[in-house]
Amino acid sequence: MTTRRSHPRLVRKLEEALGPELCARLEESTVVELMLNPDGRLFVERLGEGMQALGQMSASAAEIVIGSVAHTLGQEVDVDRPIVSGELPIGGHRFEGLLPPVVAAPTFSVRRRASRLIPLSAYVASGAMTEVQHEALVAAIAARRNIVVVGGTGSGKTTLTNAVIAEMVRVAPEHRLVILEDTTEIRCEAENAVFLRTSDAVDMGLLLKSTLRLRPDRIIVGEVRDGAALTLLKAWNTGHPGGITTVHANDAAAALVRLEQLTAEVSPRPMREVIGEAVDLVVGIERTASGRRIRELLEVEGHADGRWITRPIATEDRSHVA
């Protein structure tokens, strides 16, 4: 276990292993992700620019990086436990590190935590969102509709979620927000907000059950990835509307199917009606060659006769950049 005395030493060791170039990139607000491949090649992804080569890192330095992160997280990393997941002690960025034998050589990825908030209006200004989409999303937030943001890895789900939360705070500053995450990524400037994080002993399902006793007006979950989705949906259905969460899926329709799969992990009975009652709007975001864009907005009106009752919100068919 890392002590208070040893933590600064481990952080210095980590900074030395990363080197001044990577440490500088972690300070850039436009950087989305830093990646090291097994062949020692480094890549950086910036907003609107895609991935670019960044140089090289030796396997020994990469191993020190992964080992230092593991120690600060209180984790063991070796051939039997070759994967380290958690927050980088520098900046709280999301870290995923792998060692042989699951990879040929030390490999890691650092998903940079957003340091600046992009308002919803900026999505329109950049062309990432149409005016119609913006108006519909703002109206849904004001009306306390439950929103699911869907997209693939690196599509910008968390950044968009932060923009939606900022709009929540603007239209209802008196609301108490309870925010649940596995890793710290959500940004919220509400005066009345409670942040909860999972741990090895407390999973998302337990946190959600505790959340209901914290008097929330809106419940926000960074990402649902297991059976805790059912607890969230039930909470949204029982007096806590106006929340938001994210789901990994390719499009809005697939998000509803994904929620079915997640609820099936804890319930033998299909929960399509529960999903149809709880989810009001699905927002699909994607990463394209020219940047991120809002692919679709899908209003969910329920489920009946074996089918979803939905209504797509008009989207202009043009190039979007974020």
Lowest mean pLDDT among 215-219, 220-224, 318-322: 318-322
Spatial distance between the Cα atoms of 22 and 298, rounded to a whole number of angstroms: 39
Average pLDDT over the chain reads: 90
- Residue among 176, 185, 169 nearest 120 (CA): 169
Lowest mean pLDDT among 4-8, 85-89, 187-191, 201-205: 4-8
pLDDT at position 154: 81
pLDDT at position 86: 87
- Please write the tens of the pLDDT for every residue from 83-126: 999 888 888 888 999 999 999 999 999 988 876 688 999 999 98
Band of residue 6 on the pLDDT scale cut at 50, 70, 90? low
- Please write the tens of the pLDDT for every residue from 200-212: 789 999 999 999 8
Lowest mean pLDDT among 65-74, 212-221, 284-293: 284-293
What are the distances in angstroms from CA 62 to CA 41, 84, 107, 231, 312? 11, 13, 7, 40, 46
pLDDT at position 314: 63
pLDDT at position 117: 81
pLDDT at position 322: 35
* Contact between residue 249 and residue 273 where contact means Cβ atoms under 8 Å apart: no
Band of residue 74 on the pLDDT scale cut at 50, 70, 90? confident
pTM (two decimals): 0.80
pLDDT at position 124: 93
- What mean pLDDT comes out for the span 254-260? 96
